[in-house]
Structures are given as structure tokens and as C-alpha cells.
Amino acid sequence: MNEPEIEFRSVWKIFGRMEAEALTAAKSGTGKAELMARWGAVLGVSDASFSVAKGEIFCVMGLSGSGKSTLIRLINRLIEPSAGEVLIGGEDIVKAGPARLRDLRSRRIGMVFQSFGLLPHRSVRENVALPLEIQGATPRQRFDQAEVALARVGLAGWGDRLPANLSGGMQQRVGLARALAADPPVLLMDEPFSALDPLIRRQLQSQFSQLSREMGKTVVFITHDLDEAIAIGSRIAIMKDGAILQTGAPEDIVTRPANDFIAEFVRHVSPLEVIRTATIMTPLPDGGGLPENLPPDLPRVDAQAPLARLATIFAKDARGALVTRDGNPCGYARPQDLMQALAERPGR
């Protein structure tokens, strides 16, 4: 894994007037109900430790009240942590003064909100250029970079419109363009697509995933939708009551849930959609040659393709499939490998 772009080290957040007392109690194991009863305090985030590598899309998910939206706001200190370290590019931003924090927010961290957060009296272009304006860029620089960002999200030619003239999906694209305009290395996405129609939502998920990978962005993506997390995330963290219960690749979360809560959470997810072909393939020998009993004209499938793709191939050709990585053969898979993988799924 690449070096961390974002790192949490034992981060806590307590809401309430008696924050220090409640924090001490929480660290000693006092539960949420007692914290509220004795100190009138709410446990937002409980001892969170994780890292996000450069270029990774890290999804944080959980039910309402799990602490996920609090956690993402700790990354750019829109919410102040009660304890712990929050590192961006190796710098502990908990120690940053007001001027340094403003600079970090305008240059290193972009954020997209569920409610769009657009200024209604400003044009689309002016909204997109806002981070550049805060940085002190010239009007020409702001115009040019805003136009580039709008083109990236498919809104070229819409710069002079007001947000009210755009659909919900288009307004969210403007929010994404604004986050991209200053080219920050880190993007924070707080349930950005949850208010949109399903079709528009899937389109934006695909567009965002492609854009962020092409641009090498490090992303923390908040969602309450497991299907969305699986579609977008390279890793997923699942939260409950302010605590991170499990972190892992989508395949690990679905096939090896850490506890009963997570097992119930992922119960409806088909392993065909999350297990990758590379997991069940037989690697080729070092020489790269196929075993003698396998025909050379087997259909090909990428190592990262889900098992659903492999099942489609086997429905047409039951001989097997040649697995490739970056176009080069690296293994093979047979129908019996697929059946065994499905039979071995825990809880089935």
C-alpha cells in the first residue's frame, strides 16, 4: 500500500459541555447511555484509528447516528476532535493554527456535501471558482480553472447559469467541480449522491469513481448504502455507535464479517458481485504456460472482474477461462472453482 495521505491515531469526539470528564469516562469504557445520563454528553467518534493511502477511495458507512458524518468533519477540523491525532500528508492538523488550517482547507482538502452547498446568488462558474478566490487567484485563473473543472464533470457551457436553473444531479456535479477546481489531493464526500434519483445516482457514482482515479485523488466517501460503498470503495470501514467495527476490502467485509452486526449488514449482498476472479483462480506456473489439459483458445477474463462476469462466461463456455492481469495471462479458472467459492461463503 502507498504511504498514508490521511491517518487517524486514536481520535475521539465527545459533544457536550462536560467534554473532558465524559472523555475520561469513555476511555475507561463507559457506554453511550451512561455518558448521556451522567454528563449530558454524546459520543460522536470512539477511538478511531485508520489510514488512507494516496489515491485510495476509502468508504465509511453505517446507519444514521453511527458517527460517520462526524468522522469526516474531523478530517478537515470542521469539528474539533476531543483527543487524538489527525494527519494529512504527515502533518497533524490538530496542531494547526487558524491561518494554516484555512490554507489546508483551500489547497489540500476539497469537500462535497449532500445538500450541494452552492451559493444561490452566484453563477455556476463563480461557485466552482470559490476555492480559487479564497486562495487569491486572479480572475483569469479562476475563470480558466473553473471551466476545466466544469468540463471534467460534463457541464461545459453551463458556467453562466444560476444553480436554481439546474437539476439536482447537475447541482451535485457543480459541487464536485468546485471540489476539483483547486486540484486538492484529498476529497471528502459526505453522502453526496444520496438525495438523487437512482439512475442519476449510478451515473454520478461511475463518473466520480473514474474521475478520482484518473486524477489520483485520495477520497474519504461517506455513505449509508452498502451497494454504493462496494461499487466505489477500494476499502470500506463500517461504523456503529461512533466506533469502527471492521475495515477491509469489499470482498473481505462481505465474505469475512467481523461480527453478527456486520454479517446482518452484508447478508443481502451476492458474493458474485464482490469476489474477484483473482481470488479463485489457479495461478499459472512461473513459465507462464497453460497446463496441457487446458485448450489454448479459452475465453479471457480480467483478474479484477467479479465472479458474476465469470459466471456469464461459463454459461456460454464451460471449459474454463484464462485469467489476465494488464492483458497478460496470470491464471485460469474453471466452473468447479466458481461453485466451490460460492459453497464456502460463511453463513450459507
With CA atoms as reference, report the closest residue to 188 among 90, 273, 76, 107. 76
Instruction: Name the least confident of 54-58, 114-118, 229-233, 314-318.
Output: 114-118
- Long-range own/partner contacts, residues 95-101 (CB < 8 A, 24 or more apart): 101/77
pLDDT of residue 142: 92
**Separation of alpha carbons 204 and 186, rounded Å:** 19
Q: How many C-beta atoms lie closer than 10 Å to residue 157's C-beta?
A: 10
CATH of the domain spanning 277-344? 3.90.1280.20
Q: Has residue 348 got a pLDDT over 60?
A: no
pLDDT of residue 326: 86
Q: What is the percentage of the chain residues whose pLDDT exceeds 90?
A: 64
C-alpha torsion 338→344→347→348, nearest 10: 50
Work out the mean pLDDT of the chain and round it to a whole number: 90
Grid cell of 66 as nine digits: 453511527
Q: Considering only the top CATH level, what class is 53-74+97-271?
A: alpha beta
Q: How confident is the model at residue 287 (pLDDT cuts 50, 70, 90)?
A: low
pLDDT of residue 221: 96
Mean of the pLDDT values across residues 50-78?
95
Domain range annotation of the chain? 53-74+97-271, 277-344
Do 115 and 143 form a contact (C-beta atoms < 8 A)?
A: no
Q: Has residue 346 got a pLDDT over 90?
A: no
Render pLDDT for 290-303 as a digit per residue (tens, 0 to 9): 777 778 789 999 99
Q: Has residue 7 got a pLDDT over 90?
A: yes
Stronger pLDDT, 211 or 344, i.e. the higher one: 211
Q: Has residue 153 got a pLDDT over 70?
A: yes
Vertex 265 angle, CA 213 and 188, to 5° = 30
Q: Which residue has the cell 453511550?
A: 32
Q: How confident is the model at residue 182 (pLDDT cuts 50, 70, 90)?
A: confident
With CA atoms as reference, report the closest residue to 8 among 83, 66, 78. 83
pLDDT of residue 174: 92
Mean of the pLDDT values across residues 111-121?
83
pTM confidence score: 0.84
Stronger pLDDT, 228 or 79, i.e. the higher one: 79
